[in-house]
Structure 1
Amino acid sequence: MQKIITFLGLGSGLTKYQHSGQVYEGSVFPQVLRQFQPFDEMLVCLTAGAREKTWHLLENLKDDRIIPIDIPDGRTEAEIWTTFQAVIQHIDRDDRVIFDITHGLRSLPFQVFLFAAYLRAAKNAEIEAVYYGAYDLKDADNVAPVIDLSSFVGMLDWLTATDRFTATGDGKDLAQLIRGEMASEIEMNEVPDEKRMGEHLKKAANAIDNISLALALTRPEEVTKAAKKLKNILTETTRSLNVKVKPFSLVKEQVQLAYGQFAITDYKDAKAILMKQFAMIRWYLDRQQIGQVITLSREWIISVYCWKFKTTDRTEITQALNNLRVSDIDDIREKEWSDYDEEIRSELNASAIKRIWKETTKIRNQVAHCGMSGNDQADDLRERTIALYPDLEKEIAVLLH
């Protein structure tokens, strides 16, 4: 159903309002709204004072679709909650909702945006408009404009999606919002500017998707490349984003700051790459993404020793680390020998490396086997992973400085 949620105040006065080029007249704005906005129900929120002084202006219309909803004055937090509950109980799932805040007093206009956010999330309601009859902005002909503020409801989506992307790495919602601002295929084919801007928006959305997926799947090399590409694309498409996606232009800097840190300029600088990967481990840890922390930590340890011993043979380095569990090098079985057994064991902190590698491997196996083997609980694995980070920093990351 299509429902209007409007408010009445204590005052009234014959006023002309302009909407979509047409002028309408009414003593209170809901009278005007009724003339141009189709609806199934008009829910009129009114305090005791409004019921006494202005409700009759709508009641006299004898329109069964107009329904009064009694609300308190909103003097306390409890009264504000009462208003919230009184309004939302009249909205059903998938309703189409139009708000009018023209006569909203005190905090009501602010509350309306919270109503809108709640109804969209909890009841899948579509917010078609948030009207404000701007009485104080009358023109020379004494006609007040009707302003639709619904685009600002969408700001909540942009803020939520951006926060989700920067806080967790999940950019799906943000990319979808950007794509939603693209013109239609027909428009892009007919208007060169729309085509150019559409291509820019698509590139920006794809760049966000790419780094989001790389982070989710713990692909550090892809993350660094995707971060650089995202940074370049956001710079390249600045004008199009500012024109077509104004909400994103306000949060773009936040996105660049969050992921620009992973961008690498020289992919031949192995040391710089390893330092970026260690920063990623910290990033995952800060977000409590334990599976990614432990998976990347194990591979990063191998990469550090590959770098130190100037080899690309990850199998040999892994075997040498595994062989640390054998106390005497002479006791290592011939088929398990590694070319780097002596090098690893000659490290001054070999005992610390042994302990870190053993714990990392244990936790990683528990995570990889999804709890199907072993009795460790999730919270225990989390605490052990968190405790491991200082050791990685002290004993292994120090090699990169």
Structure 2
Amino acid sequence: MHLITSIGKTKYQTCTYSWDGREYSTPFAPVALAHLQGLRGARASVLVTAAAREANYTPLAEQLLQAGLEPRAVPVPEGRDEAEILQIFRIITDLVQPGENVVLDVTFSLRHLPFTYLAALIYLVGLREVNLKGIYYGAYEFGTGQGEERRAPILEITYLFRLIEWYYALNTARREGDFRPLGRLLHGDLGDLFWRGGRDEVLSRVKGHVQELAFALGAVLPLETGYQAARLTALLERLTSLEQLPAAVLALKDMGELLTSWQLTVNLAEKNWKQQVVLDRRELERQLALASWYAGRMNRPAVMLVLREWLISRLQLAHCSRDGGPVYNWLGYERRKRYEQALNRLKERAKQGLVKDPQEKQLASLWSRVTADRNLVAHGGMDEGTVQISVDEINNLLQECQALLDAEVPLEVIQRKGQRVLLTPLGLSRGVLYSGVKLTGPQRLVVLSSPQAAAAIPEILQAAGAPEISCQVLNLADPHLGFREAERLRRENRALWQELAGAGEVVVNITGGTTAMQCVVEDLAAYLDRLGVAVRRVALVDRRPYEEQRANPYVCGELVELEPLR
């Protein structure tokens, strides 16, 4: 323990100082404080000017020694100007060791110097993790009686310093979005209260929820943030007493308005509170308000995390609630994954220049920018580009999301009602295409072939009873070695892929033709899947001997369903 005090050059009168029902008589309030607070074993730094040292230091030091302390005179100037005041500040900060427990007595000093002491303590507590155990003032002028019969209280004014700490903690929460200082400060104050034999159940519960809120905000958890905000709001309404921890209670009450726009409307007594949360416009507005709050504190990673999930939720609400009502059970991984994949596929189609609808283009652009920004920070900036904070970009994204609340969301993003298309290779065995047409019933054909094999397509379709089906042939430059021709076919047939992007289903047959044809078909199937097309992979099998197949190709084989690409 380290007592920091000062002495002046005035001749001090004996006074009986009282604290917490106990008394001690001495001319020096710091000595009474040492006895009444049980500071035996502590070191005592006494700030003295030259005149004060000559007048009073020796008797003060002797009484501090008798109280079991180790006094030390610390010469200081009188603080007549800014330079001297800063010198006193530096002297005090040099006296105290990091992590030390400090008690400050401000009874005997020039009236302006306690402000210097206070500034030094703010510095020491904030930057050197010094533990302030109390600030005390021997209020001689409040005493009663004359001469040696005079009695006066020792006042604890630590709460004034606590108000400054609470101001800092609240300011950090409001300006920077960091609630951890609030939690730490409340934890320390409650510890001191318990040490003094007091308890406050409401404040104890508040402490826990402030810490949980700090975690939820730091981890960017919109639902947990809303839950903890609701719990805190309910508890803060019960904080009526200012007696035990006035600084904490006053500061916490001021924090209440900060929680209003975040809180969820749920039954706080329910253990499974997340099951009560419904997805509706109000919930989207609440999450968007939280994203805006993060943006106001330049927390770009948090904004992008919230907006990414917000867009998934917005698409989910549009798809599941045609009449604008709430959506229940919306938080399952598989449920949300469907909408995330739909947005990723839309982004890929837009990247390939295959999106023409203006609403789809806008949604694709918004999703692309949000996910790109989110990925940059989520992967620690491990990218060739420099990660920067663009205030304009953040504000633009927030405005576009706000506009999307009232805009019509293009539901074609997740449910296509177009044609069924058969994509198949075709070699010299005509039965593959024949069976594909008969067994899948397509409205359109895309055939990967060679000019020689493709010449038989009209006859095959006639035999299948579907001569009117639209058919587009994609010829491989080398039917036997063209394993890498998928990229060329995508590049040269952009209009085709744009049309297929709107297909209801593309049935991809991986059998028939050459091995190179089968490989290219698989590559094209993967490309269509990335574009968001419903791809159905099948194999067409004819169990008859090869010679019989050649002699009579127009016999329907079997269709085997294969696993999806993912």
TM-score, with structure 2 as normaliser: 0.58
User: Could you tell which deviates more after superposition, 15-24 or 280-289?
Assistant: 15-24
User: Could you tell which deviates more after superposition, 219-228 or 309-318?
Assistant: 309-318
CA separation in 1, counterparts of 2:398 and 2:215? 27
* Equivalent residue, structure 1, for 2:368: 358
User: Could you tell which deviates more after superposition, 261-270 or 249-258?
Assistant: 261-270
Task: Report how far residue 175 of structure 1 moved.
Answer: 3.2
Question: Which consecutive unaligned segments of at least 5 residues does structure 1 have?
Answer: 189-193, 333-340
Contact 1:3/1:97 (<8 A) preserved: yes
CA separation in 2, counterparts of 1:130 and 1:248? 17
2:151 to 143, 154, 174: 143
User: Could you tell which deviates more after superposition, 254-263 or 33-42?
Assistant: 33-42
- Counterparts in 2 of 1:258-269, with a 5 A limit? 258-265=258-265, 267-268=277-278
Task: Report how far residue 233 of structure 1 moved.
Answer: 2.1
Structure with the largest fraction of helix: 1
Question: Residues 170-208 of structure 1, C-alpha deviation per residue, up to 9 Å, x if partnerless?
Answer: 4344334444527769x79xxxxx5xx42x233222322
- Distance of aligned partners of 1:67 and 1:162 in 2 relative to their CA distance in 1, 3 Å threshold: same
Task: Report how far residue 87 of structure 1 moved.
Answer: 2.4
Question: Residues 348-392 of structure 1, C-alpha deviation per residue, up to 9 Å, x if partnerless?
Answer: 4443333222222222222222233x21223x2x22xx3333333
SS, match of residue 74 in structure 2: strand
Is 1:24–2:25 an aligned residue pair? yes
2:289 to 262, 268, 279: 279
Root-mean-square deviation (Å): 3.4
- Counterparts in 2 of 1:68-107, with a 5 A limit? 68-107=73-112
Question: Which consecutive unaligned segments of at least 5 residues does structure 2 have?
Answer: 267-276, 322-329, 407-566
Contact 1:207/1:233 (<8 A) preserved: no
Identity %: 23
CA separation in 1, counterparts of 2:204 and 2:61? 51
Task: Report how far residue 83 of structure 1 moved.
Answer: 0.6
Aligned pairs, number: 370
CA separation in 2, counterparts of 1:65 and 1:252? 40
CA separation in 2, counterparts of 1:146 and 1:394? 58
Task: Report how far residue 324 of structure 1 moved.
Answer: 4.2
* Equivalent residue, structure 2, for 1:207: 209
Contact 2:89/2:119 (<8 A) preserved: no
Is 1:255–2:278 an aligned residue pair? no
Task: Report how far residue 39 of structure 1 moved.
Answer: 4.7
- Distance of aligned partners of 1:219 and 1:87 in 2 relative to their CA distance in 1, 3 Å threshold: closer
1:326 to 349, 368, 383: 349
- Distance of aligned partners of 1:45 and 1:370 in 2 relative to their CA distance in 1, 3 Å threshold: same
* Equivalent residue, structure 2, for 1:118: 123
Which amino acid is the alignment partner of residue 162 of structure 2? G
Contact 1:24/1:35 (<8 A) preserved: no
SS, match of residue 9 in structure 2: coil
* Equivalent residue, structure 2, for 1:230: 232
Is 1:158–2:157 an aligned residue pair? no
Contact 1:138/1:145 (<8 A) preserved: yes
Contact 1:17/1:146 (<8 A) preserved: no
TM-score, with structure 1 as normaliser: 0.79
- Distance of aligned partners of 1:30 and 1:305 in 2 relative to their CA distance in 1, 3 Å threshold: closer
State which structure, 1 or 2, has the greater radius of gyration over its C-alpha atoms. 2
Contact 2:89/2:117 (<8 A) preserved: no
SS, match of residue 44 in structure 2: strand
Question: Residues 246-296 of structure 1, C-alpha deviation per residue, up to 9 Å, x if partnerless?
Answer: 222111233211122112438546101111111111111112222111111
CA separation in 2, counterparts of 1:111 and 1:9? 16
- Distance of aligned partners of 1:128 and 1:389 in 2 relative to their CA distance in 1, 3 Å threshold: closer
